Structure 1
Amino acid sequence: MTDVIRTLVVDDDPLSRARIRGFLEREDDVEVVGECADGAEAIPRIRAERPDLVFLDVQMPGVDGFGVVEAIGAERMPVTVFASAYVEFALRAFEACALDYLLKPFDEERFGRTLGRARAAARSRQPAGDPRLDALVQLLRAPARPEYPQLLAVKSGDQYRFVEVGDIDWIEADGNYIRLHVGTQERLVHKTLQEMEEHLLDPARFVRIHRSTIVNLSRIATVEPLFHRELSVALKDGTRLVCSRRYRPRLQERVYFTG
C-alpha cells in the first residue's frame, strides 16, 4: 500500500457523502477514489478500485451496508467504518466488532477520532483481511433468533387481561387448558403446553421439566435429587415442582451444575 489512503465513500444521502468527502479532503494522506449512492453500486466499485478504507452507510435501499460486506467477503473488504442515523444498527455493528461506527449526525471532532483509528488500521493492515469483518459475516449468516411475545392477552369474561411473559413463574397443564402461575395469581388459557413451549416461550428463559410443567428458569431457587433420577425443583416463592427423569436432560442443558 502507498502512503496515500485510498478511500471510498458509500452513502445513499448526498449530503452525508458531501460531508464525509469534505472532512477527508482536508487530509494530506487521504485520496477519495469515489462515491457510491447504494450498496449495489458499491460492490463492483470496491472490487475494481480496491480502496484501503471505506466509509459505509448501513441502511441503504436494496443492498445495505452489511450486505456489501457479505457480498465482497470479509477477507477482501478494506478497512471499514460503518455509519447510520439509527442506534440499533450501531449496536449491531459493535456486536460484530466493527472498527468504528459513526452515529449521524457526527461532528468534525468525532470524525477525526474515527479517521485516526481507521488510518492506523489501514497502515497496519495485513493481506489476510480484518477478522472483525469476518465476525460480522458470521453474525449475518447465523440463523435469525425467533421473536417471542412479551405480552399475553388472556381472556377473562368479556375482557382481556395482559400478562407479561417474564412475570410467569411456572405453567401447568390443566386438561385442555394451561394454568399460568404469576405471583399469587393464576390465569387459565385455552392452549396446550406443547403450543406454549414451541411458539410462545423463549427456550432461553423457560424449560419444560415435566409432561405437565414448564418453569421460568429465573424463578428456580434450589434443585434436589429424588428417587429414580427425578429432581425436586423449589422456586423462590416456596413452590415445589418435580422434574421427571425424561425431562431432566432439558434442565441440565439450560443450567450448569458445578458438582
Structure 2
Amino acid sequence: MITCLIVDDEPFAREQLADLLKPLADVEVIAQAGNAIEAMQCINREKPQLVFLDIQMPKISGMELIAMLDPEQMPRIVFVTAFDEFALKAFEHNAFDYLLKPIDELRLAQTLNKVRKDLRPQALAAITPSQLEHLPCYSGSKLKVIATKEVEYVFSDLSGIHVASCKGKAHTQLTLKLLEEKTPLVRCHRQYLLSPGAIAEIEILDTGAEATMHSGDRVPVSRRYLKSLKTLLGFQ
C-alpha cells in the first residue's frame, strides 16, 4: 500500500486528485493539507511514502517545504503545477516526477507506476533553497508563518523549539540544527540561536555573557561561542 499526502492550497485541486486516486486499491490518501505548515506537521507525524506537492503556494512554497524536511526521511515528492517552467525545472534537477494541472489520468498512472517500482529515498538538494525566508510556526491552535528576518532568537527546552520574533513567541517543528544551516541565525549557546542584527548589547559575565536583544529579552551566550560572536560583530 502506497500511503500519500496531497498538498495544495486550492481545495478543488486536492479533491480532484483524491477522486482520481480513490479507485486505486494500492494507494491510500492518508491526509490532505492546504499549506506548508499543515503539510510538514502531517509528514512528520504520518510519514507518508508519497507526497503530491503544489509548487506555488502562499507564504511558503513547495520548494521551501522540501528544504524544511529531514533529508534522511524524505518521502517521494511528485510536484503538481500549472506552470510548465516550474515542472521542467523540477524534472531537470532529478525530482522524482511532476504532474501538470489539470491532471491527466493517464499521466498520473505513469507516475504511480514509477513510484511502485522505486521507493528509495530521493535527493532533492539541488532544487531546494539554501536559506529559508519563512519559518512555519504554531501558537496554540493558530498556524503562523514568521519571516526569518523578523526572528530575534530561537531556543529549545523540554517542551520543544521556540521562535522569538518582534511579534511574540511561537513553536516550530524545525530543529536547531536545520535552522542553523538554513537561516542567518548563529549559535550562541547549546540551546540558543540568535540573529546578530537583533543584538542591542552584550554583557560579559564570569560564566560567559548575555546578549540583550532589541526587544529587551536576554539571551545566554556561552564561553564556547562568545569569541566567534564577538568576531562576527566586529569586535577583536
Q: For this structure pair, what is the TM-score category when the shorter chain's length is used for normalisation? A: 0.5 to 0.7
- Alpha-carbon distance in structure 2 between the residues aligned to 1:45 and 1:134: 21
Q: What is residue 114 of structure 1 aligned with on the other side?
A: 111
Gaps of 5+ in 1: 143-259
Find the partner of 1:65 among 62, 66, 88: 62
**5 Å matches for 1:21-170?**
21-122=18-119, 125=120, 129-131=121-123, 133-137=124-128, 140-141=129-130
**Which residue type is aligned with residue 141 of structure 1?**
S
Q: What is residue 5 of structure 2 aligned with on the other side?
A: 8
**Aligned partners of 1:40 and 1:62 also within 8 Å:** no
User: As a proportion of its length, which structure holds more strand?
Assistant: 2
Q: Secondary structure at the residue paired with 1:91?
A: helix
**Aligned partners of 2:96 and 2:122 also within 8 Å:** no
Higher-Rg structure is 1
Q: What is residue 198 of structure 1 aligned with on the other side?
A: none
- Alpha-carbon distance in structure 2 between the residues aligned to 1:26 and 1:91: 29
Task: Indicate how the Cα distance of structure 1 residues 75 and 135 shifts in structure 2: closer, same or farther if over 3 A, else same.
Answer: farther
Gaps of 5+ in 2: 132-236
Percentage identity across paired residues of the two chains: 42
- Give CA deviations for 1:194-237 in whole Å, capped at 9, x if unaligned: xxxxxxxxxxxxxxxxxxxxxxxxxxxxxxxxxxxxxxxxxxxx
- Alpha-carbon distance in structure 1 between the residues aligned to 2:70 and 2:49: 15
- Alpha-carbon distance in structure 2 between the residues aligned to 1:76 and 1:51: 10
Measured after TM superposition, the shift of residue 65 of structure 1 is 0.6
- Alpha-carbon distance in structure 1 between the residues aligned to 2:38 and 2:90: 21
**Aligned partners of 1:84 and 1:103 also within 8 Å:** yes
**Aligned partners of 2:2 and 2:49 also within 8 Å:** yes
- Give CA deviations for 1:94-146 in whole Å, capped at 9, x if unaligned: 23211111011121111111111122222xx2xxx312x23333xx228xxxx
- Alpha-carbon distance in structure 2 between the residues aligned to 1:81 and 1:11: 12
Measured after TM superposition, the shift of residue 76 of structure 1 is 2.1
**5 Å matches for 1:170-209?**
none
**Which residue type is aligned with residue 94 of structure 1?**
F
Question: Alignment length, in residue pairs?
Answer: 131
- Alpha-carbon distance in structure 2 between the residues aligned to 1:68 and 1:75: 15
Q: Secondary structure at the residue paired with 1:114?
A: helix
Q: Secondary structure at the residue paired with 2:95?
A: coil
**Aligned partners of 1:79 and 1:121 also within 8 Å:** no
Measured after TM superposition, the shift of residue 16 of structure 1 is 1.1
Q: TM-score, normalised by structure 2?
A: 0.53
- Alpha-carbon distance in structure 2 between the residues aligned to 1:119 and 1:15: 26
Task: For CA contacts below 8 A with separation 6 or more, give which structure has more relative contact order.
Answer: 2
Q: Secondary structure at the residue paired with 2:118?
A: helix
- Alpha-carbon distance in structure 2 between the residues aligned to 1:135 and 1:75: 15
Q: Secondary structure at the residue paired with 1:62?
A: coil
> Pairwise CA RMSD of aligned residues?
1.5
- Alpha-carbon distance in structure 1 between the residues aligned to 2:54 and 2:102: 12
Measured after TM superposition, the shift of residue 87 of structure 1 is 1.4
Find the partner of 1:20 among 7, 13, 17: 17
Measured after TM superposition, the shift of residue 44 of structure 1 is 1.0
